[in-house]
Structure formats: C-alpha cells, structure tokens
C-alpha cells in the first residue's frame, strides 16, 4: 500500500477544480464580515456541519449560496491565493482552474471584477507558489444557451487570452451537452479548447454528445461511461482523458464508498484517468488527499500513483517542453 506522503509529494497537475469550491468556511465568514453581508449559518462549525449532501443539486444549493458573499476583486484574489497556498502543500505544480462567471454576474458582479481578481493571483502563482496555471471558463448548463453565449462574448472582449478553454458544469441531468452546441462552436472558432462535465450523474449518452458535438479534449468525471462498453472503447482508443474526482463522487453519492470507486477499473480498462478534487472545501480534501485516499481504499501501489501523476500532465493543456519537465520531476519523485 502506498503511504500518504508519497501521494502528497508526487508532483501533479490539478485539472478539475472549481475555484468557488475551494471556499473554506473560515474564509467565507471573513469575507462576509468584510463585505457586511450575513452568512445564513451561525458559525464556521455550523456551516461545516451542513456539508452533508444527498446528490449534486443538494451540494450546488449550498455552493451557490456561499459564493454569494464574494463581491470585490480582492475577494476573488484572496480566494485564489488561498487555494494556491493549499495546493502547493499537496504537490500541485500545475493547475487548470474552473470558474463560474454566471454565478457572479447573475448577482450583479461585473465579469471584469471576477476575471481581474482571479488573474491578480494567478499571474503571481508561478513565482509565489511554484504553480503554473490556466483558467477554464465554465458555463452553467442549467441556465440558457443564450446566457452562455453572452458570457462567452463578454469574456472574449475582456482579456479573452486569459482563458485556455471553456467548460460545462452545474446540474447535469436534463441539460445535455447538445444544448450548448453553438456556444462551443463559437468558442472553438476563437481558438479555445473545450471540456465538459459529463457522466457524473448524467447518462453515457451525454459523454457521447460531449465528444461528438462539443468536441471536448477531456471529459470531466465521466465515471458513468463504464456503463457503455462501446464508449469505453472509444475513450480508450482516442486516449480521451477523464478528470475523475473520487471524494466528490462519494460525497455526492455517485458511488457508495471510496472502496467502491471505479478508478482502478478505469485504469485496468486502459482509460486515461486522472485524480482531482472538484470542490475540495466541501468534499473533505484536496488533490493529494484524494490520491492518498484512493491509494488506501483501492490498494494502489506507488507505481500506479506515479501513472496517475503522469496522466495529469499528459492530459493537461501545457506546452510540450513544460510537460516534459514536469514528467521528469515525477520520475525523480
């Protein structure tokens, strides 16, 4: 069995991380106080005790409520700095970070405030934390395609070059990837890469659509792909990476326990799986903790953990020379 310290110190890329999902209760209360807004929980402990979820929607309700205290550029910068500092302690050397602009613009926070705040932290990330980073703009799939298109146009006008890709998140079932066909076409025409949450709670058909319609470079989650052998063959043959989030899958009841998690089976099937933290402030751990957790629960050896770390870099959107430097660091770990 691999020891936790190896899982933590292995150099790794985090590819599935919602910055709003790194909002720890202590920082929620600190920022709420600064902005003179109230959190609908009496204390940090009471808030943390509320982190019991029955499914994705029950989590999203709390997630959107909590992020509503974020108002200023400084708030978004503080959020990103807090994540990067923690990520450093988890062996993260590269992070591709999701953000949900519509969850903020819908509350009257201008897109520029979100983007400039996050960027002020990310532009210092390499120097301060030794972490290279990229931003992925996610559309909320339970809002309309028109709202997503407007968000994309705003993002393209305001430092479009800060974004490497667009993604799709929020409530999956009932909101298939095809709903966003034109938005993703427009994004690709502007040179952006595409990813999408698919096969988390939604059926394998959504994963097919993400590939065929949205032309994604990676599938976020994708665990339900295993229900469809033809899809597994496609993902394997085309080496499509899956950004798997074990703690998230347990907390949101996609699987019963970590011991039931299909990660090991995915690797055995030849899938390009990576391990990620999704919303670590809510799901009980950051990416090194996720890796240590599956190592223990699924009896993964150090060689398998190193494979997962290598997979994270080969699935990332970094340039080839940087990727190769990171791969050498895995070999030396």
CA atoms within 13 A on the CB side of 22: 28
Residues in contact with ligand ADE by CB under 6 A are 18, 21, 56, 63, 169-170, 197, 200, 248, 278-279
| Residue owning tokens 């095809």 | 178
The CB-of-168 to Zn ion minimum distance in angstroms stands at 10
136 versus 235: smaller Cβ distance to Zn ion: 136
Find which of ligand ADE, Zn ion, none residue 78 binds, CB within 5 to 8 Å per kind.
none
Q: How far is the CB of 5 from ligand ADE (least distance, A)?
A: 28
Query: Is 201 an interacting residue with respect to Zn ion (CB under 5 A)?
Result: no
**Residue 323 binding partner per list ligand ADE, Zn ion, none, with a CB distance cut-off of 5 to 8 Å that depends on partner kind:** none
Indicate the DSSP class of residue 223.
G
Answer with the entry of ligand ADE, Zn ion, none that 21 interacts with (C-beta below 5 to 8 A by kind).
ligand ADE
Length reported for the chain: 333
| Catalytic residue ranges | 200
Q: Are 159 and 123 in contact (CB under 8 A)?
A: no
Choose one: 104-112, 120-128, 276-284, 315-323; the region binding Zn ion (CB under 5 A): 276-284
Is the Cα torsion angle 131, 132, 135, 136 positive or negative in sign?
negative
Q: Which is nearer to ligand ADE, 171 or 226 (CB)?
A: 171
Smallest CA-to-CA distance from 134 within 99, 96, 191 is with 96
Query: How far is residue 223 from each of residues 35, 84, 271, measured CA to CA in Å?
Result: 39, 27, 11
Nearest residue to 227 via CA among 259, 194, 269, 172: 269
The string of DSSP letters for 312-326 reads: HHHTS-S-HHHHHHH
CA distance 137 to 165: 7
Binds Zn ion by CB under 5 A, chosen from 231, 278, 326, 330: 278
Q: How far is the C-alpha of 257 from the C-alpha of 131, rounded, in Å?
A: 31
Shortest reach from residue 328's CB to ligand ADE, in Å: 32
Beta bridge partners of 98: 18, 136
Nearer to ligand ADE, 243 or 311 (CB): 243
Nearest to 305 by CA among 333, 277, 271, 285: 333
Minimum CB distance to ligand ADE smaller for 11 or for 167: 167
Instruction: Tell me the closest approach of the beta carbon of residue 270 to ligand ADE, in angstroms.
Output: 25
Is 98:18 a contact under the CB 8 Å cutoff?
yes
Q: Which segment (105-113, 231-239, 260-268, 278-286) binds Zn ion by CB under 5 A?
A: 278-286
CB of 218 to ligand ADE, least distance (A): 14
Interface with Zn ion, residue 14, by CB under 5 A: no
Q: Cβ distance 122 to 80 under 8 Å? A: yes
Least distance CB 200 / ligand ADE (angstroms): 5
The reply to whether 96 sits near Zn ion by the rule CB under 5 A is no
Residue 170 binding: pick among ligand ADE, Zn ion, none (C-beta 5-8 Å cut-off by kind)? ligand ADE
User: Is 12 in a helix, a strand, or coil?
Assistant: strand
DSSP count for the chain of H helices, then E strands = 18, 8
Q: Which is nearer to ligand ADE, 59 or 313 (CB)?
A: 59
Residue 200: contacted member of ligand ADE, Zn ion, none (CB under 5 to 8 Å, by partner type): ligand ADE
Closest to Zn ion by CB, 24 or 172: 172
* # chain residues binding Zn ion, by CB under 5 A: 1
Which stretches of the chain bind Zn ion, using CB under 5 A?
Answer: 278
């Amino acid at each position: 069995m691999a020891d936790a310290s190896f899982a933590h110190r292995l150099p790794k890329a985090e590819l599935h991380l919602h910055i709003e999902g790194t909002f720890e209760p202590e920082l929620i209360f600190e920022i709420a106080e600064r902005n003179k807004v109230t959190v609908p929980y009496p204390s940090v402990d009471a808030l943390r005790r509320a982190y019991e979820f029955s499914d994705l929607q029950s989590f999203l309700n709390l997630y959107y409520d909590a992020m509503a205290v974020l108002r200023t550029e400084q708030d978004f910068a503080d959020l990103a700095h807090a994540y990067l500092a923690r990520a450093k302690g988890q062996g993260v050397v590269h992070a591709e970070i999701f953000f949900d602009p519509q969850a903020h613009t819908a509350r009257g926070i201008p897109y520029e405030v979100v983007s400039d705040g996050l960027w002020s932290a990310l532009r210092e990330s390499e120097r301060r934390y030794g972490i290279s980073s990229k931003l992925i703009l996610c559309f909320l799939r339970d809002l309309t395609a028109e709202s997503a298109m407007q968000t994309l146009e705003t993002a393209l006008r305001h430092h479009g070059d800060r974004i490497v890709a667009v993604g799709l998140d929020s409530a999956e079932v009932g909101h298939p990837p095809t709903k966003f066909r034109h938005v993703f076409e427009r994004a690709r025409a502007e040179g952006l890469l595409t990813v999408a949450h698919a096969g988390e709670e939604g059926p394998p058909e959504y994963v097919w659509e993400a590939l065929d319609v949205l032309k994604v470079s990676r599938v976020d989650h994708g665990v339900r792909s295993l229900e469809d052998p033809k899809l597994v063959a496609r993902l394997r043959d085309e080496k499509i990476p899956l950004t798997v989030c074990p703690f998230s899958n347990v907390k949101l009841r996609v699987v019963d326990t970590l011991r039931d998690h299909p990660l090991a089976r995915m690797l055995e099937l030849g899938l390009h799986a990576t391990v990620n933290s999704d919303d670590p402030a809510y799901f009980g751990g950051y990416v090194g903790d996720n890796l240590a957790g599956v190592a223990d629960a699924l009896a993964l050896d150090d060689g398998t953990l190193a494979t997962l770390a290598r997979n994270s870099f080969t699935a990332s959107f970094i340039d080839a020379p940087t990727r190769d430097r990171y791969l050498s660091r895995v070999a030396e770990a």
